[in-house]
Amino acid sequence: MSRGQLARALHAASCSLALFSLALPVIGAAQEGGFAPPDAEPGIGENGPPRPDVPGIAPGQPRKLTGMWEIERFIFLIPDAPMLPATKALYDKQLAAMNSGQILYTAWTSCRPGAPSAMVMPMNSLAVIEGDRDITLSFEEPRMTRRIRLNAQHPADLAPSYMGDSVGHWEGDTLVIDTIGFNGQFQLDSFGLLTSPQLHTVERLTKSADGKKVTIQTTFEDPEYYSAPFTIERAWIPHADRHQFEYDCSENPREEECAHTYFVQDLYRPTCVRYEGKGLDPSQVLCRRREQGADEHEH
């Protein structure tokens, strides 16, 4: 099975990522988890010839990031995050729900974009397009587009969003991206590490001398949920395809797909659910309005 096929299989249903996490033992969850899917094509990867050069990712151009990339290794957990006691209590409640057989439904599982989620666990390809004043990152899965304004300042009247506001500058051959203005409506990993609007991230992207790898160090700072900043490391490698493919993430599942689901926030409950008719009864889609004042951390 190819890397793309495996990734799409994980998201065949709206709850698939949570089901994938559920299959992992929660004991030892502080240890960083991950898996390395098979290479996209036979003979390409660690045990074969070097991955093919991609236009714009040639050696000798350390500040040239334009091209098609993919995550070096899919990692779905952040280990040892310095959680505050109240944060740890909410996190443990989520793990207890998983241990009881429930599916953990996070922002990423429910098709909501979140720039830090893509910093931690992107899947499939991402395209980088560089301009004189900005850099654009287009992610295939989860589907989202980030714009990094170069040598700019954050606006004073910043409206909170899933993407936040990103500004970047070069320090030598390392691109430093500073992002604030998040809305706090997403989690950092598949076990539901929390975020708030106070979240501040700093990413440091450095391309290897041979042009075949971009190392990314990301520091997260969120005083509402964590006692200190913490840093993770990820990496991109060249992607063999020259374009991205369609990605369909459905918010409104069939009833049985989320019958045993723990919603990290009430916001993630599907607005509409399809109910299959029994016998000659017609099928129907029922929609609801989100209740005002609902506890966002109750299931």
Alpha-carbon span 102 to 86, nearest angstrom: 22
Q: Which residue has the higher pLDDT, 78 or 143?
A: 78
Return the higher-pLDDT residue of 9 and 141. Answer: 141
Averaged pLDDT, 268-290: 76
DSSP string, 128-160: EEE-SSEEEEEEEETTEEEEEEET----TTPPP
Q: Per-residue pLDDT for 108 more than 50?
A: yes
Q: Tell which residue, 295, 253, 249, has the closest CA to residue 113.
A: 249
For the chain, the maximum distance between any two Cα atoms, rounded to a whole number of angstroms, is: 69
Task: Please identify which residue in the block is written with the tokens 């899965």.
Answer: 141
Residue with tokens 């951390």: 297
CA pair distance 284, 253, nearest whole angstrom: 12
Given a cut of 90, whether residue 203 has pLDDT beyond it is yes
Mean pLDDT on 177-198: 92
pLDDT band for position 4 (cuts 50, 70, 90): very low
Q: pLDDT tens-digit profile of 118-155?
A: 788 777 788 899 999 999 998 887 788 899 999 999 99
Mean pLDDT over the full length of the chain: 76
Written as six digits, the tokens of 181 are 């203005």
pLDDT classification of 285: cutoffs 50, 70, 90: confident
Query: What is the rounded distance in angstroms from the CA atom of residue 164 to the CA atom of residue 158?
Result: 9
